[in-house]
Structure 1
Amino acid sequence: MAELEELNFTNRSDFGPNGTYVIVDQNETVILGEGERLVNVTSEMDIAYAVPLYGYCMPFLLVVTIVANTLIVVVLSKRHMRTPTNAVLMAMALSDMFTLLFPAPWLFYMYTFGNHYKPLSPVGACYAWRAMNDIIPGLFHTASIWLTLALAVQRYL
């Protein structure tokens, strides 16, 4: 079994194993296994820009995107609207909606509710953060780009 290291971050900045830098506002004890690192969103981007953009602008954009893309899907899924072009357009709308929908819970938790200063733990939450903020939105965004290319090729032919 891996040796555990206990770190106590109390109202100050501190370094953890592997140079992990965390800022915690309240008394918390974080237990890390050997070689494990915490996710610290304050080191990933400038908080002065991240909080207004992800905490306040993103919820508004999320609502607008969900409403608009839901209306597009509802209209294009009607029986008389089913064409190959509309199928690609509907897939693009779904892809664009999922690009914002997957990271939304994390962005609300971190930036809107002000938890960006806390280290993200347990380790499973760190993996989920990385997957739902980097990998899955990138996958849907890439799918949207390829669908745009497919639509252009379809219209050209």
Structure 2
Amino acid sequence: MANDTAPSDYHEYEYEYYDEYYIDYLFEIFDFEVNVYGYVWPILVIFTTCCNVFVISAFLRTHMRTPTNLILVFIAISDSLTGLVTLPAVFHIFPNKNDFLTEEWCNIAMISRLYISRAFHTVSVWQTVLLGVHRLLQVKYPLAAMKFCTRNKTLAIVGVIYILSFVLHMYHAFDIKAEYGMCQWTIEEPCVWTCIYIWMNLLLLHLIPCFVLAILTFIIIRTLAKLNSNADGFRDSIKRRRKHRNFTIVVVLVVIIFLVPELPYGVFYMITIGLRHTGQDILPLRTNRLIHCLYEVMLLVSFHLNFWVYCVMIQRFRACVKSILRILTCQEKNFNRLDGDATSSSGKGFELTGVPLAVETADG
């Protein structure tokens, strides 16, 4: 069995095995991964999860429980689980640079990161697209929104997204990760099923969602601009324009937050696949892992930024967070007043950033 003090140069390490089965498997770790995944990653995951607890608690309040806000709740859940499921393997491997793993820990590490975590992230991506569809219907097609943006239909679509996302990454649940003394994902030659999975992953996790969400946002912004220009004749036109402007800012911020990590990594992923198919040299493993590490950190930061967008742009969300904080700090005497202030807002059907009900939007 491999020693706990195995040398860092794995090429000089002599594996001990019985009946051609290795006891320990090398999980190659670079120095920057020890610092990022061993220390920065757990802090970001835990902090983001704590913020998402506020998001879930606030949007599940009775007066906030709209179909669109339920999507925000599900996004917060899947965002948190994307990081949380990786923590057991992260704590086992990276802080102590434990680069020789048993077959069981190799499978735990690889499946949690490549399958479960990636599936939850895919759920978040398509829930964000669903959020964009809800916004478009509410702004441009209010009557259709009243018919299709219901709670039951939203829950059903989210359920389908979960099922399809885990089916998409099912490949990583069964392929062999611990083999020939190495713990890694290898691409077979000739590349058949693996390449099919890679292309589906590229299209369904990066390129198509980014393209669809960008188009949806562009249409929403144009529609809001027209609504603002047609609202001049109403007494509350200034108020409506302010609400539409805030809504546009939220849409733009959400799209930017979504695209900043996804779009560059999608382009990098596509270039890497193209180089491999043409038989050209791809980036060294260290460079590849560095880019992937940067992408995952930016992904976690983007998950966290959603909370601050809600805090800055949604007044009723801030009121809910304040009331929850007062409960946690045992200052419940003003809780009813804060809750009443939030529910007495003129827009009873408020979602996201003070956007009126669908019928009101059509009028304004």
Interval containing the TM-score (normalised by the shorter chain): 0.7 to 0.9
| Higher RCO structure (Cα 8 Å, ≥6 apart) | 1
Pairing 1:120–2:101 present: yes
Partner Cα distance (1:70, 1:30) in 2:
47
User: Who is 1:141 aligned against?
Assistant: 121
**Does the 8 A contact of 2:89 with 2:105 survive in 1?**
no
Partner Cα distance (1:39, 1:30) in 2:
11
Higher gyration radius (CA): 2
User: Who is 1:58 aligned against?
Assistant: 41
Pairing 1:109–2:92 present: yes
Partner Cα distance (1:22, 1:64) in 2:
40
Which one of 19, 23, 27 corresponds to residue 41 of structure 1?
A: 27
User: Who is 1:4 aligned against?
Assistant: none
TM-score by length of 2: 0.34
RMSD of the TM alignment (CA)? 2.8
Which one of 119, 131, 153 corresponds to residue 111 of structure 2?
A: 131
Cα 1:60–1:34, aligned 2, differ >3 Å: closer, same or farther? Answer: same
Amino acid at match of 2:82: T
**Equivalent residues in 2 for 1:14-25 (5 A)?**
none
Cα 1:12–1:36, aligned 2, differ >3 Å: closer, same or farther? Answer: closer
Amino acid at match of 1:110: I
Cα 1:78–1:33, aligned 2, differ >3 Å: closer, same or farther? Answer: farther
Q: Tell me the secondary structure at the aligned position of residue 54 of structure 1.
A: helix
**Equivalent residues in 2 for 1:55-94 (5 A)?**
55-94=38-77
User: Who is 2:350 aligned against?
Assistant: none
Pairing 1:156–2:142 present: no
TM-score by length of 1: 0.73
Q: In the TM superposition, what whole-angstrom CA distance separates every residue of 1:47-67 from its partner, at most 9, and x where no partner exists?
A: 221011111211220221111
Aligned length: 136
Partner Cα distance (2:104, 2:6) in 1:
25
Q: Tell me the secondary structure at the aligned position of residue 98 of structure 2.
A: coil
Cα 1:51–1:139, aligned 2, differ >3 Å: closer, same or farther? Answer: same
Structure with more strand by fraction: 1
Percent identity between matched residues is 29
**Does the 8 A contact of 1:38 with 1:126 survive in 2?**
no
Question: Which residues of structure 1 form unaligned runs of 5+?
Answer: 1-6, 16-20
Cα 1:71–1:35, aligned 2, differ >3 Å: closer, same or farther? Answer: same
Q: Tell me the secondary structure at the aligned position of residue 116 of structure 1.
A: coil
